[in-house]
Amino acid sequence: MPWRETRDPYRIWVSEIMLQQTQVTTATPYYTRFLQSFPDVHALADAPLESVLAQWAGLGYYRRARCLHAAAQHVVREHGGVVPRDAAAFAALPGVGRYTMGAVLSISHGARLAVLDGNVGRVFARWSARPLQLKRPADAKQLWAMAESLLPPAGPQVGDWNQALMELGATVCTPRAPRCEECPVRAQCRAHALGTPEAFPPVAARRDSVAVRRAVVWIERAGRVLLAQREGALLAGLWEPPGVELGPGEDARTALKRHLRALGLRARLTDSGVRVKHTITYRTIVAERWDGTLVGAAPRRPALRFADPAAADLAVTALTAKLAKTRQKSSE
């Protein structure tokens, strides 16, 4: 893991943000490319947000990239481009929570700060055989207290300890089928002694998945596709063909025409028959691809453009990439 070979707080910070909600194997190539494009805090702060989102495209949870970019600008503005080593100053940066603060400052500066995420919480719950769930605030308090009480004295060993805990949770004490025979803390682990490691932590109730129906219009011109920049809470700033969410039984053609009119567009629409399934957190989206031909010119608006959805400098949604593949198949 390339981020284990550095004590540079900026690089460790980028890795910790990427590794939230993303597996190591997925994050590694993104991490390498991201640092080639933005090798230090100044490079990240100076880059347009769109370039940062383009580097992040495919990793998901784009709020992480937005916060990292805003935080880099804050570091340049308020701290002369030096990542603060003071815990309160670092924790005040956008997107930096207690876990990120502990990880970055303990690994880069040996600060005596604990880390606690799902992996580490699972190790503690099993090691102590206590039914503690990180998602429950009262349990989280106990887990943090446990994490802090076990820390070694300040120095490089704190970073090593925290990284060892993260790795233990990620690679040995896995959610299912933990590899207890290879575990270095097996002799002290109460859940192992009880023979029921998987009973800890107790399984949290899952949020029910919500089915979403969406219609999108695919309009091509000279090998490029009409894309609109998304607004709102979800995937804001990313590019996607114009589309609408459909209510129960709502007619897709009528809804799409209405949406296009609101964008100042008119188009002839044909249902391609292609349906693309896509999941974002708890939303399972089925997108209907409608192929369109523009009637008249497309208005000049900053949030609308004809572009190649595969262009490296364009941040498109994962759904757009899937739709582009279906389009390729239809024309083969």
Q: Active-site residue 16, yes or no?
A: yes
Q: Which stretch binds ligand SF4 (CB under 6 A): 2-10, 72-80, 190-198, 289-297?
A: 190-198
Q: Is 64 in the site for ligand SF4 (CB under 6 A)?
A: no
Q: Is 180 in the site for ligand SF4 (CB under 6 A)?
A: yes
When the beta carbons of 37 and 128 are compared against ligand SF4, the nearer one is 128
The DSSP-derived string for 34-97 is HHHH--SHHHHHHS-HHHHHHHHTTS--THHHHHHHHHHHHHHHHHTTPPP-SHHHHHTSTT--
When the beta carbons of 139 and 288 are compared against ligand SF4, the nearer one is 139
Q: Which stretch binds ligand SF4 (CB under 6 A): 29-37, 52-60, 186-194, 295-303?
A: 186-194
Q: Is 189 in the site for ligand SF4 (CB under 6 A)?
A: yes
When the beta carbons of 44 and 147 are compared against ligand SF4, the nearer one is 147
When the beta carbons of 171 and 293 are compared against ligand SF4, the nearer one is 171
Q: Is 197 in the site for ligand SF4 (CB under 6 A)?
A: yes
- The active-site residue, picked from 16, 148, 240, 245, is 16
List the structure tokens of 138. 């009262």
Q: Is 114 in the site for ligand SF4 (CB under 6 A)?
A: no
When the beta carbons of 117 and 288 are compared against ligand SF4, the nearer one is 117
The 3-state DSSP composition of the chain as helix, strand, coil percent (nearest 5) reads 45, 15, 35
Contact of 77 with 92, CB cutoff 8 Å: no
Contact of 168 with 88, CB cutoff 8 Å: no
Q: Which stretch binds ligand SF4 (CB under 6 A): 14-22, 101-109, 175-183, 321-329?
A: 175-183
CB of 174 to ligand SF4, least distance (A): 8
- By CB under 6 A, name the one of 102, 178, 201, 309 that touches ligand SF4: 178
Please state the φ and ψ torsions of residue 248, each to the nearest 5 degrees: -60, 125
Whose CA is closest to 192, among 200, 180, 182? 180
d(CA 88, CA 192) in angstroms, rounded, equals: 38
Q: Is 186 in the site for ligand SF4 (CB under 6 A)?
A: yes
Q: Which residues of 153-169 are buried (b: 16+ CB within 10 A; e: fewer)?
A: eeeeebbebbbebbebb
Number of residues that bind ligand SF4 (CB under 6 A): 14
Q: Which stretch binds ligand SF4 (CB under 6 A): 28-36, 54-62, 65-73, 191-199?
A: 191-199
Q: Is 126 in the site for ligand SF4 (CB under 6 A)?
A: yes
Q: Which stretch binds ligand SF4 (CB under 6 A): 121-129, 225-233, 253-261, 274-282?
A: 121-129
d(CA 276, CA 146) in angstroms, rounded, equals: 46
Contacts 24+ apart (CB under 8 A), 252-260: 252/215, 252/288, 252/290, 253/290, 255/215, 256/215, 256/217, 256/290, 260/217, 260/292
CB of 191 to ligand SF4, least distance (A): 5
State how far Cα 229 lies from the chain centre: 19
- By CB under 6 A, name the one of 38, 127, 218, 239 that touches ligand SF4: 127
Angle at 52 between CA 285 and CA 48, to 5 degrees: 120
Q: For residue 197, count other CB atoms closer than 10 A to its CB.
A: 23
Q: Which residues bind ligand SF4 (CB under 6 A)?
A: 123, 126-127, 172-173, 178, 180, 183, 185-186, 189, 191-192, 197
Active-site residues, by number, are 16
